[in-house]
Structure 1
């Protein structure tokens, strides 16, 4: 797992990283709000987020 960066070891992070984190967080929050407004059950939203997190973790570990 040499391609995994631990942000706490790279502090302070650059402005590009902060912008990317803020953009990702904002996009996720907007998508969750839209899903709630559309009437998706909360458990379904959580399971989708968990599935994506699992997939990304798998990609980090196996590459």
Structure 2
């Protein structure tokens, strides 16, 4: 995923938060790569990621 632009928080982040964000980003990228290698259609991958993002957004605003 070399074409992804990294966004930086407006305020400095602690090293722990930065490490957690980087770990999450790597885990997601690795999972997407594994799913593609297994032959999952890209639309299914995107749909699953969108569904999880929607669910987490719902939890945050509830």
- For the superposition of Structure 1 and Structure 2, which TM-score range results when normalised by the shorter chain? 0.7 to 0.9
* TM-score of the superposed pair, with normalisation by structure 1: 0.83
Q: Write out aligned runs for 1:46-57 (5 A).
A: 46-57=46-57
Q: Return 5+ residue gaps in structure 2 as ranges.
A: 1-8
Report which of the two structures shows the higher radius of gyration computed on alpha carbons: 1
Stretches of 4+ aligned residues off by more than 2 angstroms: none
Output the aligned Cα RMSD.
0.8
- Between Structure 1 and Structure 2, the one with more helix by share is 1
* TM-score of the superposed pair, with normalisation by structure 2: 0.84
Q: How many residues of Structure 1 are paired with residues of Structure 2 in the alignment?
A: 54
